[in-house]
Structure 1
Amino acid sequence: MTKWKKDCFIIELKLLIDTWQKDLLLKRFEIARTLYNTTLSYAVKQYTFMQESKHYRKQLRGYQKAKKTNDSKELKQIAKELTNIRQSFGLSEYQLHAYIKKHQHNYKKHIDSNTSQKIASTVWRAVQDVLFKGSKAHFKRYGMFHSVEGKSNKAGIRFKENIVYWNGLILPVRIRKQDLFVKESLALHTIKYCRLVKKVIRGKHTFYVQLVMDGIPPAKRIPSTGAFRHSYQKKQRVGIDIGPSTIAIVSEETVFIQQLAPEVPLLEKQKRRLLRKLDRSRRSTNPNNFKKDGTIKHGVKLRWTYSKKTIKKTKRTSKKNYIERKASYIKEKHGALANKILSLGDEVYIETMHFKGLAKRTKETKTTIQGKFQSKKRFGKSIGNHAPAMLVEIIHQKLGYTKQTIQKVNTITFRASQYNHVTDRYEKKKLHQRWSQIGSHLVQRDLYSAFLLMNSDPNLQQTNQDLCNKTFTTFLALHNQHIEDLKQVKKTFPLSMGIQQIK
């Protein structure tokens, strides 16, 4: 039986704490990290011992043979035997709960049993990836454990009357007076469990509590009037053509194209400048550690000294802090864009995109006319900076609150980038061609693809030509107006939008 996933949402509130409380929380997070690493170390050792077992290896070979022959009866029998073997080596979630309990007793003043069990469950998820996906387990470095959570709101980490209680700590939270969303959520929904989160903001540790609430979140309201902030259109079609860094959206009333999370490249630029500054500082404080050509000396044990400013800036620009800052910015922008899309209509049509495949380097080696090797890079950096898959997931989640889903068309049969509804033919285009000739009109390629997706057949296999003919005149007027508006903006657009080509 598959476990049914219940509806839930998260409220994040800032903790108002004193310096001694912050120090105690930092200590507890480090204890939690120690418990995590200790449990993971035990699980990895047990996994190594299991791999050395002849009986396990024999059953594993038998499972692989049965998988090739599609013998379902034998597969079930061997899978059951493999599960028994894993449990004999202590590799199950509840066995890890029992193991961590022995170590938790040493820190019971700081870490309660519920929290320690959740730490063990996190370890088990990492071990599952090792067991079933062949990935590698990673230990947490000092300061890199960022959240602890309980199992319920009745014991361990608890939230009651705007205060968080945890093993003697009393931590008040900040709730804005005009935050109707938080007030409605707390009044109408029950708290499943609480999670404490540590973030580094401007080089300082800040703590938040995340309340995992049961049910569907209430609609957000405008504080001054109490009216709903987002009014979603029922039974209206919206076509979305999403790329690695841009998105084109077409509905019956609106047409627009824009970059996803446009300010992220600026964060990249800030990071590069700060890293260059740190490198200059390191070279000036450690001149004897570098050769004349500027490279670091090798074969000698080097001692490094750093200025106080460098140490502070290094904390601010650590990889983890940068990734968290970028992710929070992208998530915020995608949430706003998802609300805007759903305000146009609740029937969302999109092509199935495999962004992981687009992010990978190409395997084929190609050369230019001059005989030089072409770069094997594809869209990895763009996808990492703009996270198109995250936007799709947010839209899917928001539609799920009304028991609806995204309509994903068949990419192979649909071919939105090639179809011409006027000639009723498929015409291949090169990637750099950002404009399509549709009849006597020149149309932006991504916007036209979104238009075709909006007019999809119910079977999601191809576009409906009759619908295209009915709605094309309206689309063309909105398209031309939007392109004119973009021309007036004094801004550099990505080359993939093709706006520079018509200026």
Structure 2
Amino acid sequence: KKGMIDYEYGRILKKFHKLSDRHIIVAETDMPYSDVLKVVALSDKIRKAGNELVGLMRRNHDQLMRTKRYRKLLSLYGSTENMAKRKILANQLNEMQKSYNVTWDCCRKSMIPIGKKYGIDAIFALTKAEDVWRGMEKCLYGSGKTIHFSKFGELPCIRAKQISRGIPISVKDNRLQFKLGKKAFGIQIADRFQMDEVNAVLSYLNEPEIMDKKAVDTLLEDAYCIDTYRPCYATLVPKMIRGKYRVYLHLTIEGKAKPKYDKYGNPRHKYGKGMIGADIGTQTVAYTSDTEVGLKNLSERGDSIQTSERKERLIYRAMDRSRRATNPQNYNEDGTVKKGRKIWKY
């Protein structure tokens, strides 16, 4: 009986995790620069492994698309409205995809030896395989034509969609601590919003069973999801900023984000009451309410921009005068450029 109760509790908790909102906070890590370079090296290894998997899946997909039978089945599937026939055609398409190794299972299994070759943790390799397969799905079922390689210098994120693997989280001295391999690091809290978010995560980690039980009870009794602020998983994002590598941590948290306040403690985003209408254009946004009508520019052109634009116009005009003075043979009397092949002197 206890096993049945635990099974039912786990099922409802899983349903709560699926229904609840999620948000992400971004904070810079406090790891030393030597560890930052190691993270960058790991990111580059993941890029190379992903490119190798992309090449394999791309080759299989190209071979599949070259077959006349598969293209004919795609055409019939798109033009048929009978659901029974569409189901038969879908099964045939799936069988052909299996025969040409264009499936998620093949993508996942192919990544295992590639990840071992580059010395990548299995959870990071699995996450990269998911990214590659997401692109392959767009080619199979969407408007995508082919999947592309990552260029040299692009640093993919290091993500493990399990908080207990890859980049586990713990609490030490009432602070969040993360680990990548044997290296432990924390995050730099920059403002009050991040502090509120971290405190909410710490309060969940102090008593996770109580918070989960409260969430399950609320879902059963009131049919809505509370904000538990459970840390779901962490992602490391290396970036090159002004010639120096920096690593940011993206922490995915369960629940809605905390409200933001200004330096005086007032809410930054206040909600009013009543109906409004808004029309968002490419450069402006127009709004109207019962008491106010307005038009705002989405991107204001300040004095500094206008000054630089004027300097740019003057430079272009000077360049044009110089080009005309040194190449008069290439212009007509009315100032237009002559047709045909010309030799320019600068």
Q: TM-score, normalised by structure 2?
A: 0.69
CA distance in 2, matches of 1:61, 1:121: 28
Higher RCO, 1 vs 2 (CA within 8 Å, ≥6 residues apart): 2
RMSD: 3.0
CA distance in 2, matches of 1:63, 1:158: 45
Paired residue type of 1:74: K
Aligned to 1:445: none
Identity of aligned residues (%): 21
CA distance in 2, matches of 1:145, 1:172: 21
Q: Does 1:189 align with 2:229?
A: yes
Does the 8 Å CA contact 1:146/1:199 hold for their aligned counterparts?
no
Residue 48 (structure 1) shift: 1.4
Residue correspondence of structure 1 range 421-436 to structure 2 within 5 A:
none
Residue 165 (structure 1) shift: 0.8
Residue correspondence of structure 1 range 328-477 to structure 2 within 5 A:
none
Query: What secondary structure does 1:140 align onto?
Result: coil
Aligned to 1:29: 43
Match of 1:14 among 24, 28, 46: 28
Aligned to 1:231: 270
Aligned to 2:70: 56
Does the 8 Å CA contact 2:29/2:248 hold for their aligned counterparts?
yes
Paired residue type of 1:208: Y
Query: What secondary structure does 1:11 align onto?
Result: strand
Residue-by-residue CA offset, 1:350-378 (whole Å, 9 max, x unaligned): xxxxxxxxxxxxxxxxxxxxxxxxxxxxx
Residue-by-residue CA offset, 1:100-125 (whole Å, 9 max, x unaligned): 111111233xx311111111111111
CA distance in 2, matches of 1:294, 1:211: 58
Residue 55 (structure 1) shift: 3.7
Moved more, 55-64 or 9-18: 55-64
Unaligned runs of 5+ in 1: 277-291, 296-503
CA distance in 1, matches of 2:183, 2:245: 17
Aligned to 1:257: 295
Residue correspondence of structure 1 range 196-211 to structure 2 within 5 A:
196-211=236-251
Residue 24 (structure 1) shift: 0.7
Aligned to 2:149: 139
Aligned to 1:124: 133
Residue 195 (structure 1) shift: 1.0
CA distance in 1, matches of 2:127, 2:97: 21
Match of 1:92 among 91, 103, 106: 103
Query: What secondary structure does 1:174 align onto?
Result: coil
CA distance in 1, matches of 2:70, 2:85: 16
Aligned to 2:55: 41
Structure-2 change in CA distance of 1:78 and 1:181 (3 Å):
same
CA distance in 1, matches of 2:190, 2:282: 37
CA distance in 1, matches of 2:115, 2:39: 16
Does the 8 Å CA contact 2:107/2:133 hold for their aligned counterparts?
yes
Does the 8 Å CA contact 1:112/1:167 hold for their aligned counterparts?
no
Match of 1:174 among 183, 188, 192: 188
Paired residue type of 1:251: S
Unaligned runs of 5+ in 2: 1-17, 204-227, 316-342
Query: What secondary structure does 2:186 align onto?
Result: strand
Q: Does 1:241 align with 2:274?
A: no
Aligned to 1:310: none
Residue 218 (structure 1) shift: 2.3
- The count of corresponding residues between Structure 1 and Structure 2 is 267
Q: TM-score, normalised by structure 1?
A: 0.48
